[in-house]
Chain A
């Protein structure tokens, strides 16, 4: 297990999810050719649900895993198509999977991409306020307040 995995439980969860994604996109699924595009979409949905549940400091490994599994499946489909007569259905399947891969990975936030610029105006204003006596709020206090608001809202709306 990597250092990162030991320290970030969510990374382990991400790996588990990407493994289930891989399971959904294995060769047997291709061989059956029954509902695999939907299975692939469902697997993607699971990954998004996990990412939504837990923000992460780095998602490169998960992205590479997803990319690799898409490539494996597309290659398997291409091989199968080329070995069959009258396998035109596979063409549309392959195109659909290629499009799904583009959709998933197009906006993936690889760590090699440029970060948003530092908000210098906010930075200077915050530090000026700190120097003037504004000490901010402990993050755990913010969390408690927000949790209370959410719980109140849930009770109110039933």
Chain B
């Protein structure tokens, strides 16, 4: 079971985006899913650097029913047994069609 490390820039960015309650909810979900179901997510590689990183996506609705999409970029090659959450990007509301 890998351990999840969150880099300071990521926790700082999340703290600026989310109030503490929702932030706790998001972190708990990440903790559970990445530590227990890493194999499920690791196959979604970051296309620009597939050898090093995978994408972990979370959709979250706020109390007003507005969606947020979080894209975490996670290193699983740097340190054996550890997943390093190195970056997060985020969009709110409607995304552009892909």
Residues of A within 8 A of B (CB): 7, 44, 48, 51-59, 104, 106-109, 112-120, 122-123, 125-127, 129-130, 134-140, 142-143, 146-147, 149-150, 153
**Binary flags per residue of B40-77, CB closer than 8 Å to A gives 1, else 0:** 11000010100001011111111101110111010100
**Contact pick for A137, options B6, B13, B61, B96, CB 8 Å:** B6
Question: Do residues B6 and A142 form an inter-chain contact, with CB atoms below 8 A?
Answer: yes
Interchain CB contact under 8 A, B98 and A112:
yes
Is there an interface contact between A107 and B93, defined as CB atoms closer than 8 Å? yes
User: Are the C-beta atoms of B59 and A109 separated by less than 8 Å?
Assistant: yes
* Residues in chain B near residue A55, CB distance under 8 A: 25-26, 29, 58-60, 70
Residue in B25, B48, B75 whose beta carbon sits within 8 Å of that of A127 in the complex: B75
The residues of B that contact A127 with a CB separation of less than 8 Å are 75, 78, 84, 86
A136–B55 alpha-carbon span in the complex (Å): 18
Interface residues on chain B, size class: 35 or more
Main secondary structure of the interface of B (DSSP, over half): mixed
List the count of A-B residue pairs having beta carbons below 8 Å apart: 160
Tell me whether A143 and B27 are in contact (CB under 8 A). Answer: yes
Residues B84 and A126 in contact, CB atoms below 8 Å apart = yes
Closest chain-A Cβ to B11's Cβ sits at a distance in Å of: 6
By the criterion CB–CB under 8 Å, are B25 and A122 in contact?
no
Q: Find out whether the CB atom of B5 lies under 8 angstroms from the CB atom of A118.
A: no
Q: Taking A137-B6, A150-B20 as contacts, is the C-beta distance between A114 and B98 under 8 angstroms?
A: yes
Closest to A103 in B: B65
Q: Contact between A113 and B97 (Cβ–Cβ < 8 Å)?
A: yes
Check B27–A109 contact: CB distance below 8 A: no
Could you tell me the distance between the alpha carbons of A136 and B78 in the complex, rounded to whole angstroms?
A: 13
Interface contact B62-A52, CB-CB below 8 Å: yes
A-B contact pairs, 15 of them (CB 8 A): A48-B63, A52-B62, A55-B58, A57-B33, A107-B93, A116-B89, A116-B90, A118-B87, A119-B87, A127-B78, A130-B7, A130-B86, A137-B8, A138-B3, A147-B24
Q: Which residues of B contact A149 (CB under 8 A)?
A: 20
Once the chains bind, are B8 and A129 in contact (CB under 8 Å)? yes
B20 touches A118 (CB 8 A): no
